[in-house]
Structure 1
Amino acid sequence: MTVTFEETGAGWTYGGERIVLALVSIVTGWLFLQRLLRSSYRLPPGPWSVPVLGCMLWIDHKAPFRTFSQWADKYGRFFYARLGKNPVLVINDATLVREIFFSDAFQKRPHMPSTTQRLKETNGLHCGLIFDDGDSWKEHRRFVLRTLKDFGMGGRSIEEKVAEEAGYLLELLRGTREAPFDNKVFISTAVANVVSNVVANQRYDVNNPEFVHLLKGIAHLFRSSFTKTLLGAYTALKAIPPFDAVWQSNQSAKDTMAAFFGRQVQEHLGAWREHGESDLIDAYITALRRGEFGTFAERQLLYLVEDLMLAGYETTTITLRWAFLLMCAYPEVQDRVQKELDSCVPAGSGARPSEQLSLPFTEAVLAEVHRYASIVPWGVAHVVSADSQLEGYDVPRGTWILPNLYHIHHDPALWEEPHQFRPERFLTADGQLQRLPDYWMPFAVGKRRCPGESLAQVEFLMFFTAVLRNFRLQLPGGPQSADLRPVPGATSETVLYSLVAIPRS
């Protein structure tokens, strides 16, 4: 007698015996392969994996960084896990992160679905900057660092641009007339305009619907879910509900981004004049036409622009939103920042990098925001390029490596009361800023450390101090209403919150 199982919601009917046999076969096959794998490799300890999903069933997908911290506490300096089909080595120790990320054996990137798509479009030649490797990555990183310097990074021109955008942001805050407002569009537009100026010499108004739509699409790409994680491991699921809708949503955001930046690149190609370079795109075209770098190409330029806007806009925007939320949650900290700013920063403006030495408490607050929020909880994955060993364990070729930065930034062995927001931890007894410890690593470490770190730090300082010098920030429900739970993703976003900006006399 055949037993049937009906799932009414999906409208499917299966033979129960066949389901059981299929499941038993899959599980048996999986366990057999696991035994073979572990017999040929001495893998590091880690959570148990099941077929297809790996260890994803045991992860709290509303707070995955907490699950990874629990595993770090259980397994020690590193552990081995499978996320879907992807083998992952998670590094929980700051010293070990530095050692590994400075080693040549661990500098490559894994191929994400978006990277694979780019490589497919270019016959395996180009995939941008973030997930590029080898000579192409080295040449493009060197070019980006050089161009940032040429266009004023570390000098007055970048500071003037940030100050200009900070002025626009202050005007927007004044226009709210002390009514609650969602600050996300205001902040994201200000930050994105700085990056857009460097990359394409353009700025956009906060009411520009096309630009706002672009920024929302970029933010969407950074959010995560159980469904997105599975799609990242098994792209074939894109044809099956409900994965198809998630895939289409992501593709729509990517298509919007590609079309927007594709137009910018084409406009620059048409208007380019040698010795008339005004932004990074112009500088790239000049280098391309001179044949300065062997890996440069027009399609690679588009991918580079996308990567720079993605990384340069999203992380700084989220960092500022965390900083403003934390100032509302800890009004006594906001008081001290404003007292310090009032002593050396004129009203109507913000601090400049040259004034940082006069602002030790403010600098400590910025450092603590980075630590507390841990905007990029696992950095950007590296991949093992050849079979390797780590402290007596085998690390097979193709294993992903993730630095567990959230855990490192909240490890009680490193930080006193790590889940408390305490800027004083970065100050000496006489109130001066201490040297930041080696285990403070919000921009990652090693040879692939974030190339935009200097720009991000200038933006964070100048936007933060401009707003705090000129406005008192509050939540409509008071400090006790602050929700400090991160929204998970490739970056840890704040929850949506409304802000009240009260002008200071």
Structure 2
Amino acid sequence: MTKLTLDMELLENVPYLDQLLDFLKGKEELLPKSLTGRAILVGTIAGVTVYLITKKRYNLPPGPRGLPLLGNLLEFRNARIYEKMMEWKAKYGPVVKFNIGHIAIVGLNSIDVVMEAMVKRQADFAGRVHLYSTLLLTDGGRSIVIGDYSPTWKLHRKLATKALRYYMTGTHLDEGIKRTLTKTIGLIKERKGPFNPHDIISLTVFNIINNICFNFTCEVSDNYFRDMLQVLNIFLDEFGNGFLEDIIPPLRLFPTKKLKSIMKETDKFFGLLNEELVKHRQTIRKDTIRDFCDALLLAQEEAYQEEDPDVMSQITDRHIVQTLSDIFGAGMDTSRITLLWTLLALAQHPDIQDKLHTEVDHVLGGREFPSVSDRSNLPYTEAVLHESMRLYMVAPCGIPHKTLCDTKVGGYDIPKGTTVIINHYALHQDPEQWSEPHIFNPDRFLDQNGKMAAKPDSWLPFSAGRRVCLGESVAKPELHLLLAGIMRHFKVSLPPGAKVNTEPRGGSFFTLPQDYEISFESKV
């Protein structure tokens, strides 16, 4: 069969072709005059027809219809993405397709489809979305958190995991916790009356992360700490629902004030990290690994000594700075925001706080600071943190994934290159998984003996699969020991007559507590 015969047979089966032919009858003036022009027109119609008939068909998930060019963008004017996806779940089911501008997105809103995607088909969903803004903010995607799944990503993930595991061995974490809490407790005791704990809690977590990366701690008045904190705060406050430049390309020629502001702060942040990197290179010793930065520099030196061009190109200074940035950004924000939400919840629930104090005081006895070995004996403290992370999600949409191949989830086809969002908020608020999900109740994580029960599948603050949070192994024990240490020394309460607003601020990707004040009453 010739191609012409095939094309004519296909044309005969095109829907509405007869209407098109009827329309053209008597309207020869609309057709090209020359034989060549008419041949090109017929060829074009035939080619488009063959494409439409033979292109791959997908059984795509259901979802709301959007507007041309804008997609469903306008529906997020007065609603956060995770809230809107929960609304759509009730209408379309747990797998929902929608568009933000030209970007096709699939939202996963129940634990069954999330586990299918992130665990059963984890290799299919291991990619990251490379938007214009994320490439700018991560030096072309050199970040572990944002970087696409690749040999370079796997190398840096392996190096970072090894370095963090080293920090968790021996007495490193215990020493860091004691050093940090000593500063924190002293600063709190200096304050009189109710105050906003934001800066002190930020310093507490910052010193843990900075100690891991650069082996030193700061005072709240240090310029280095103040500069780093300013960058992190501006990013959280201004990120919101993302950047218009990602969905309206012409704006990239004339960036918005928001993007320019965040890029300015990001450049400052990378500059501070580069300064510490230079200092470490000047003082590093092969026989002593002081911190995470040393570990990365030694790995770089080994690659250069072996003259392996592939590895050398994957572990440049630009890669190292991005990896350090990942540890700071992810570790700092998740932990400090979780602690701020937890302190507010404890101030609101004195009965829960009393139970926590009883446990901490019994386990620590006369000691001022907890250690890693105490963790198994502090289940209620851990349950309080688990409940805080469930009810007050720091990153309710997580970090968007990207499919690396054509795949499936929930019975639907998901084409290669699709952006996929896990709605952690929906998982943590699902009434089918949690009894009275809007109530702060740490007991839901304990068994009948008061020990930590098996982790519920639907509790997923650190995600799952190949892109599980890099810092989970540090964040969980760090938060556990910091909260126990603070509660060993203080009771927290709301000022008389204070009205608490638990409506989170921030956009779709970060949820922070509103500014609040609490009182710290010394116990020790």
**Shorter-chain TM-score range:** 0.7 to 0.9
**Aligned ranges 1:23-422 → 2 under 5 Å:** 40-59=57-76, 61=78, 63-102=80-119, 103-117=122-136, 127-132=142-147, 133-150=149-166, 152-177=167-192, 179-223=193-237, 228-234=242-248, 236-238=250-252, 240=254, 244-291=256-303, 293-294=311-312, 295-346=314-365, 349-422=368-441
Contact 1:409 1:440 in 2 (8 A): yes
The change in CA–CA distance for 1:226 and 1:170 in structure 2 (over 3 A counts) is closer
Q: Which runs of 5+ in 1 are unaligned?
A: 1-35
Q: Which runs of 5+ in 2 are unaligned?
A: 1-51
Alignment partner for residue 459 of structure 1, among 475, 478, 501?
A: 478
Contact 2:133 2:243 in 1 (8 A): no
Contact 1:47 1:81 in 2 (8 A): yes
Aligned to 2:431, the other structure's residue is in SS state coil
Paired with 1:200 and 1:394, the residues of 2 have a C-alpha distance of 46
Paired with 1:214 and 1:56, the residues of 2 have a C-alpha distance of 33
Aligned to 1:49, the other structure's residue is in SS state coil
Contact 1:63 1:486 in 2 (8 A): no
The change in CA–CA distance for 1:81 and 1:232 in structure 2 (over 3 A counts) is same
Cross-structure match for 2:38 = none
After superposition, the C-alpha distances for 1:126-173 in whole angstroms (9 at most, x for unaligned) are 6121122211111111111111122x3143211210121012111111
Number of equivalenced pairs: 461
Paired with 1:363 and 1:59, the residues of 2 have a C-alpha distance of 35
* Equivalent position amino acid for 1:217 in 2: V
Tell me by how many angstroms 1:424 deviates. Answer: 1.4
After superposition, the C-alpha distances for 1:243-291 in whole angstroms (9 at most, x for unaligned) are 6211221112111101111111122223333223311111111111111
Contact 2:215 2:290 in 1 (8 A): yes
Tell me by how many angstroms 1:477 deviates. Answer: 4.1
The change in CA–CA distance for 1:228 and 1:239 in structure 2 (over 3 A counts) is farther
Q: From the CA coordinates, give the structure whose radius of gyration is larger.
A: 2
Tell me by how many angstroms 1:209 deviates. Answer: 3.1
After superposition, the C-alpha distances for 1:93-119 in whole angstroms (9 at most, x for unaligned) are 213212212321111111133442367
After superposition, the C-alpha distances for 1:336-388 in whole angstroms (9 at most, x for unaligned) are 11122222224662433322332232222111111111222111111012233
The change in CA–CA distance for 1:40 and 1:134 in structure 2 (over 3 A counts) is same
* Equivalent position amino acid for 1:364 in 2: A
RMSD of equivalent CA atoms: 2.4
- TM-score by length of structure 2 reads 0.82
Paired with 2:78 and 2:315, the residues of 1 have a C-alpha distance of 39
Contact 1:444 1:450 in 2 (8 A): yes
Paired with 1:276 and 1:61, the residues of 2 have a C-alpha distance of 54
Paired with 2:453 and 2:395, the residues of 1 have a C-alpha distance of 23
After superposition, the C-alpha distances for 1:414-433 in whole angstroms (9 at most, x for unaligned) are 00000111111112334332
Contact 1:107 1:382 in 2 (8 A): yes
Contact 1:352 1:461 in 2 (8 A): no
Tell me by how many angstroms 1:63 deviates. Answer: 4.2
Aligned to 1:398, the other structure's residue is in SS state coil
After superposition, the C-alpha distances for 1:58-109 in whole angstroms (9 at most, x for unaligned) are 2265644322221222222211111232211111121321221232111111
4+ runs deviating over 4 angstroms:
36-40, 60-63, 224-227
Cross-structure match for 1:488 = 506
Paired with 1:474 and 1:270, the residues of 2 have a C-alpha distance of 48
Contact 1:63 1:488 in 2 (8 A): no
The change in CA–CA distance for 1:51 and 1:227 in structure 2 (over 3 A counts) is farther
* Equivalent position amino acid for 2:229 in 1: L
